[in-house]
Structure 1
């Protein structure tokens, strides 16, 4: 299976290639913000007793949350990476994206940015290196880091938990056919933004996360996935799907036919245009219930 290939900046996209697979990264970010960031002990001036990291947050969001939780100057947590001694896989090259595991973390008076980041990475290693994940990665001819990368895309793209497996299968099918992934969520990550409005110009940018121009997986995960996304990435259901779009809330359509996908995209655009003219549109154009919180497990220190 082709997972990573040299940059292909000279690829010319056909009309088929320019049609976006509609990303849900913006919706994931929006729903994550709806989760209470801190659980406060006592009154409003009390120190936080725990920190919630929702599924799908990017590392930058995690750093900012840790800064606020520990009441340290903005940027402190990111600067601490060099001395945190995180137990990351070699493929990560020191970048913890994908390994800041979504969960609720206890905070005590001795907590530091380094200790919290280490806690998150250690938790990710415990969850990702379990037999089901490792065996699933091997079964699909990839290592765990590649599985985390795929899971991060699944986390960003899937409108619902039920869609995660099919999104993962689309990714595998495209990789196996030597097709570019063409995922808007990877472009959003490379441009440090979250939007549904990917332009044709965006798809031509020379960016390592531009999966319209680059073959294979992006160089790193694009978010921190939860266990549901990891299960989908390591055990996707069978299917021949190559395209998907959520035409309206609760209605995500997967297909192997480009012509059918074009019709689905046209319906999505009509629905979005109609919603933009509505005084009070409900839900979101990609199918995730607006404001629905991500569910994160609570972890406790070990050792």
Structure 2
């Protein structure tokens, strides 16, 4: 968003600065899954009794949290996926992204990664396969997996829950018009990062998640959305918006006019130049 991109690539659908929310989620989950320490003269502290998965965490973050909670070698939870016999739709092709439902899961001495991952997916299926969500997806001429994918974008992009329905509408409007989504959140997912700054070089990466270069939805969800994002995905609010940008925290502007959007982007860029740099994540 800080650069002059040719007209087609310059259209920016800027996501929220999720640093605060993600940071909070990490603290909450970190508290729940903190790895016990050995101290001189003391026995090992008790294992945590619950695992908190915040809304919007990616599968990679969930796997890491499971490994920490169960004191396992990093990568163990991810490797456990094939043996967990997860009830995923065929479209997922064995990838649980989008189905590791954000909630609090109890831990016991007998907890294993396969069991935890299965609980998350089973919870997602209970939430998603009920009449409101499944019927809402059908009403919008999409299957459930597509609805979850849209919800994951909404979760990543919306600054507030109040913005979610409008972000969802932008997604639908651009899909209906045959426009690329051009969501920075999908590029961040491809690059395994979270940032407010996306460069022209970033928008040219070769990836099925590059929604600047590829049409339609990404091949999978890009995180694990919560209930509010799912509701927004199946009930987008009415509107003709095609663009949005979070000019500053609490001020996300939606527009149907590209010239208006450019002015909003210019204001965002000005704010970024004067903002206090945030710690590197």
Q: TM-score, normalised by structure 2?
A: 0.90
Q: Which runs of 5+ in 2 are unaligned?
A: 38-44
Q: Which runs of 4+ in 1 moved over 6 A?
A: none
User: Following superposition of structure 1 onto structure 2, how do residues 144-163 of structure 1 map, counting pairs within 5 Å?
Assistant: 144-163=144-163
In structure 1, the partner of 2:187 is 187
Cα distance in 1 between the residues matched to 2:219 and 2:33: 37
Secondary structure at the counterpart of residue 275 of structure 2:
helix
Q: CA RMSD in A?
A: 1.9
Cα distance in 2 between the residues matched to 1:40 and 1:255: 42
In structure 2, the partner of 1:236 is 236
Compare relative contact order (CA 8 Å, sep 6+) and give the higher one, 1 or 2.
Answer: 1
Secondary structure at the counterpart of residue 211 of structure 2:
coil
Q: Report how many aligned residue pairs link the two structures.
A: 266
8 A contact 1:208–1:219 mirrored in 2: yes
Confirm whether residue 30 of structure 1 aligns to residue 43 of structure 2.
no
User: Following superposition of structure 1 onto structure 2, how do residues 1-303 of structure 1 map, counting pairs within 5 Å?
Assistant: 14-24=6-16, 26-27=18-19, 28-39=21-32, 45-276=45-276
8 A contact 2:56–2:225 mirrored in 1: yes
Structure 1 residue 74: Cα displacement: 1.0
Secondary structure at the counterpart of residue 252 of structure 2:
strand
Cα distance in 2 between the residues matched to 1:16 and 1:206: 17
Can you list the C-alpha shifts for 1:184-218, whole angstroms capped at 9, x where unaligned?
Answer: 00000011111111001111111110000000000
Cα distance in 2 between the residues matched to 1:63 and 1:90: 21
Cα distance in 1 between the residues matched to 2:207 and 2:259: 29
Cα distance in 2 between the residues matched to 1:25 and 1:121: 28
Cα distance in 2 between the residues matched to 1:40 and 1:100: 16
Structure 1 residue 18: Cα displacement: 2.1
Secondary structure at the counterpart of residue 178 of structure 2:
coil
Q: Which runs of 5+ in 1 are unaligned?
A: 1-12, 285-303
Can you list the C-alpha shifts for 1:237-264, whole angstroms capped at 9, x where unaligned?
Answer: 1100000011112111000000000000
Can you list the C-alpha shifts for 1:25-61, whole angstroms capped at 9, x where unaligned?
Answer: 64353342232434379x9711110000000000000
Cα distance in 2 between the residues matched to 1:193 and 1:226: 20
Q: TM-score, normalised by structure 1?
A: 0.84
